[in-house]
A and B are shown apart, each in its own frame.
Chain A
């Protein structure tokens, strides 16, 4: 059961990374236009190079 000593901190750390990533996406306005983002993926503009 010593493995728990590693596994539990790791699982907590990974959960924390997920939370921080989510907070980052909220702060950078990535949920402002969910429908538009879903539709934009269908457009073939900027497929060859990223939008400047």
Chain B
């Protein structure tokens, strides 16, 4: 619990999104968890629950709107994959989550612990306040003393229990000879209790038990808000990570066995099935296929793969099974070398000091000096250590950062909540503040601005008979280009021709017999055509020149709006991609981006972002691939879509849960507003201090004034934050 409540100094994103845990056994009581980024109202809840409960095998389904999740109790043989289409037909986007990872957040101990302390502080302060009000309204002599003693009896154990997080934090800061926000807090609480006890024992007029408790209550409220916001983001980020179970198929003497990727060694033979991702770096021993390298390099054109070719971990095998001999595993793979780049780039970002830390740095010494000065001043003036100590305590209590403690968490909670409803997950505590400063936006192309699925562009150029043959061949394959071709053709009302004996030749395409003639759909050289620089599938019918079906990567929903919104807001938009010149230029033209770079290596991307930072730009990087990770980490702030590779998501501050890109521009807007509110809150807190501190130093402050100043400032600050929702 100590780690979570430090005032916003957990700097590395890696601490917040911990790496994937090893695959765990699914619990006996089968539970399916689905993430539903699109739900937002009571109609959505009932519709989703109705659809799910109506599905055979579902015993009970319940939607949690706060976390945008559905928890489903189901028959053992029901899979999440069966339920996702049900919801998609009803119009809701759904992703599977690992229920094992979720159960960890449900019994969230640290959050409950904080909530308990908050409750104890709240109830104790209500009771003590009741007694204090009677004192303020005129109780005197023995009655007042009795009320003070009862207050002490409630306040001492309540504070001993509920203020523990502050004690622990202050102690850990003092031990390394540093000051944090908790040091003045603890000093104020302890000094208030000690002087109040002393005063009570001497039948004095003023006791600050209520102030000490209210202070603890408001500060705990701030901590709890802060914790809740971050815990929600952390758990969701972990769920995304838990989606990818790192397993591989190893071949031992021709026998297949399922092993975890971590146990693979150099020289092992690994079988990668179509659709699978390379677990290690290696060399292809047998098999023919095509490889999708887009996550590593940004290239959209699949690469032909056959025995002898070197493959890197992270590439996706498209058509035929491949056997590879591992040449580098674990830490040595190119994937991990990329992660090292990230570690280097990251150290730069951790230097960012949050607004709260800046305020604390100014504030903590100031308060101590002020309090010490008033103690010394009054001691010299009156020669009475009791008066001097009382005034010093009053100064500490009145200046205590009640409103300051709420100023940042109240705003970030409101802002994160607002962004979460739009499908964005704020992973990092200072991400919003950094996002507000952005003036340059760098986009990756493949998988970020585009959805990574090919789209047929020249359907109209082909004869109907060709389309019929192509459709028949395309439907025999699960290659992304074939799937896309088949879908477009079907949508255009084409029916497949009667092609017989269709076979898929892994790595090349599909062939069959049409009216006794050989027809082929596939790679250029295999169909006898000349390869161009655009993604294409070629159709050859015996005796005719092959015709090309051209594909382009389809634009992600909301990409155009996001780019447009950034340009209108006066930000520079830059497109950096590892893809070919032609593809990048075409997309840049479509979106109206003037500044673009093609064929960028991962290092180039990171270097370019670093250059911009060195010129004093604040860069927002939006990317999804492994080739973007270094750039994501080097940027001032970074966003990645949920479909991004694990490493990219870990390196970024904000994860986009839905498929639509348009909330990004909105997030910048919200971030600017949030930072404005935080600054306003600091100003409000300062104004209250400016009014109340002279009173305290002059010795005129009473517990009533302290209670009023503290409560009004805290409430004003919270209300100001709520305007953001």
A35's partner among B43, B65, B116, B124 (CB-CB below 8 A) is B65
Q: Provided the pairs A23-B116, A26-B116 are in contact, do residues A39 and B42 lie with their beta carbons within 8 angstroms? A: yes
Are B143's CB and A15's CB within 8 A?
no
* Interface presence of A45 (CB below 8 A): yes
Interface of B is mostly: helix
List, in ascending order, chain B residues with CB within 8 A of A40's CB. Answer: 42, 45
- Is A50 in the interface zone, CB < 8 Å from B? no
- CB-defined contacts of B106 to chain A, threshold 8 Å: 29, 32
Q: Which of B16-64 contact A (CB under 8 A)?
A: 41-43, 45-46, 63-64
A31 touches B115 (CB 8 A): yes
Query: Is B120 at the interface (CB under 8 A from chain A)?
Result: yes
B126 sits at the interface (CB 8 A):
yes
Which residues of A are found within 8 Å of B66, using beta-carbon distances? 32-36
Q: Are A12 and B42 in contact (CB under 8 A)?
A: no
User: CB within 8 A of A39: which of B65, B120, B124, B143?
Assistant: B65
Q: How far is the CA of A11 from the CA of B42 in the complex (A)?
A: 40
Q: Which residue of B lies closest to A32 (CB)?
A: B64
> Which of A22, A29, A36 has the most CB atoms of chain B within a 10 A radius of its CB?
A36
Instruction: Assign chain A's interface to a size class.
Output: 20 to 34
Would you call A19 and B119 a contact (CB within 8 A)?
yes
Of B66, B143, B154, chain A has the most CB atoms within 10 Å of the CB of B66
Q: Determine the residue in chain A with the shortest Cβ distance to B153.
A: A12
| Shortest beta-carbon distance from A7 to chain B in Å | 10
Shortest beta-carbon distance from B127 to chain A in Å: 5
Q: Quick one: closest A residue to B115, CB to CB?
A: A26
A23 to B146 alpha-carbon distance, docked (Å): 29
Chain A 5-38 against B: per-residue CB contact (8 Å), 1 yes, 0 no? Answer: 0001001100110110011001001011111100
> Do B116 and A12 touch (CB < 8 A)?
no
Closest approach, in angstroms, between the C-beta of B299 and any C-beta of chain A? 43
Q: In the complex, what residue of chain B is closest to A18 when comparing beta carbons?
A: B123
Report the nearest A residue to B49, measured CB to CB.
A45
CA–CA, A16 to B116, complex, Å?
A: 13
Main SS at interface, chain A: helix
Q: How many Cβ-Cβ contacts under 8 Å join chain A to chain B?
A: 56
Q: A12-B127, A18-B123, A23-B119 are in contact. Are A42 and B64 (CB under 8 A)?
A: no
Residues of A within 8 A of B112 (CB): 26
Q: Is B150 an interface residue (CB 8 A)?
A: yes
Q: Which of B67, B119, B124, B130 contacts A11 (CB 8 A)?
A: B130
| B41 contacts A33, C-beta separation under 8 Å | no
Residues of chain A contacted by B65 (CB below 8 angstroms): 33, 35-36, 39
B67 touches A45 (CB 8 A): no
Do B123 and A45 touch across chains, with their CB atoms under 8 A apart? no
Residues of B142-163 whose CB lies within 8 A of A: 143, 146, 150, 154
Q: In the assembled complex, which residues on chain B have CB atoms less than 8 Å from the CB atom of A26?
A: 112, 115-116, 119
Give every chain B residue within 8 A of A36 (Cβ-Cβ): 45, 63-66
Give the distance in Å from the alpha carbon of A43 to the alpha carbon of B49 in the complex.
12
Partner pick for B46 among A22, A23, A43, CB 8 A cutoff: A43
Q: Is the CB of B123 within 8 A of A22?
A: yes
- Indicate if the CB atoms of A15 and B64 lie closer than 8 Å: no
Contacts A23-B119, A26-B112, A33-B65 hold; do A39 and B45 have CB atoms under 8 A apart?
A: yes
Name the interface residues of B59-95: CB closer than 8 Å to any CB of A: 63-67
A43:B42 contact, CB within 8 angstroms: yes
**In whole angstroms, what is the CA distance A42 to B46 when docked?**
10
Q: When the two chains form their complex, are residues B143 and A4 in contact, meaning their CB atoms are under 8 A apart?
A: yes
- Interchain nearest-CB distance for B87 vs A (Å): 17
B697 to chain A, nearest CB (A): 35
Report B212 CB to chain A, min CB distance, Å: 17
**Is A19 in contact with B150, judged by CB distance below 8 angstroms?**
no
Complex Cα gap A33–B66 (Å): 5
Tell me the smallest distance from the CB of A27 to a CB of chain B, in Å.
Answer: 8
**A34 vs B63: C-alpha distance when bound (angstroms):** 12
Contact present for A39 and B123 (CB under 8 Å):
no
Give min CB distance, B170 to chain A, whole Å: 26
Among residues of B, the one whose C-beta sits closest to the C-beta of A41 is B42
Nearest residue, chain B, Cβ from A34: B66
Smallest distance from the beta carbon of B504 to chain A beta carbons, Å?
Answer: 47
Contact B120 A19 (CB under 8 A): yes
B64 touches A33 (CB 8 A): yes
Distance, CA A43 to CA B106, complexed state (A): 25
Bound CA–CA A16/B112 (angstroms) = 19
Pick from A15, A16, A39: contact of B41, CB below 8 A: A39
Q: Tell me the bound Cα distance from A41 to B65 in angstroms.
A: 13
Q: Which of A31, A35, A42 has the most CB of B within 10 A?
A: A35
Out of B120, B130, B143, B150, which one reaches A1, CB within 8 Å? B143
Q: Which residues in B have their C-beta under 8 angstroms from that of A43? A: 42-43, 45-46
Bound CA–CA A36/B43 (angstroms): 11
Chain B residue with Cβ nearest A14: B127
Residues of B within 8 A of A39 (CB): 41-42, 45, 65
Closest CB in chain B relative to A40 CB, distance in Å: 6
What B residues does A45 contact at CB under 8 A? 46
Q: Mark B385-413, 1 if CB is under 8 A from A, else 0.
A: 00000000000000000000000000000
How many angstroms between the C-alpha atoms of A15 and B145 in the bound complex?
Answer: 21
Residues in A with CB closer than 8 Å to B126 are 15
Distance, CA A24 to CA B126, complexed state (A): 19
Q: Give Cα A1–Cα B127 distance, bound, in whole angstroms.
A: 19
Q: For residues 171 through 194 of chain B, which have their beta carbon under 8 Å from a beta carbon of chain A?
A: none
Name the A residues within 8 Å of B150 (CB-CB): 8
Q: Which residue of B lies closest to A15 (CB)?
A: B127
B127 proximity list for chain A (CB < 8 A): 11-12, 15
- Residues in B with CB closer than 8 Å to A42 are 42
**Which residues of the other chain, B, contact A18 by a CB distance below 8 angstroms?**
123
Which A positions have Cβ atoms within 8 angstroms of B? 1, 4, 8, 11-12, 15-16, 18-19, 22-23, 26, 29, 31-36, 39-43, 45
List residues of chain B with CB under 8 Å of any chain A CB.
41-43, 45-46, 63-67, 106, 112, 115-116, 119-120, 123-124, 126-127, 130-131, 143, 146, 150, 154
For this complex, 23 residue pairs linking A to B, each with C-beta atoms less than 8 Å apart, are: A4-B143, A4-B146, A11-B127, A11-B130, A12-B127, A15-B123, A15-B127, A19-B119, A26-B112, A26-B116, A32-B64, A32-B66, A32-B106, A35-B65, A36-B63, A36-B64, A39-B41, A39-B42, A39-B45, A40-B42, A41-B42, A42-B42, A43-B46
6 nearest CB pairs, A to B = A36-B65, A39-B42, A42-B42, A19-B123, A33-B64, A35-B66
- Beyond the given pairs A26-B112, A29-B106, A32-B66, 17 more chain A to chain B contacts, judged by CB atoms under 8 angstroms and listed by A's residue number, are A8-B131, A8-B150, A11-B130, A16-B123, A18-B123, A23-B116, A23-B119, A26-B115, A31-B115, A33-B64, A35-B65, A36-B64, A36-B65, A39-B42, A39-B45, A41-B42, A42-B42
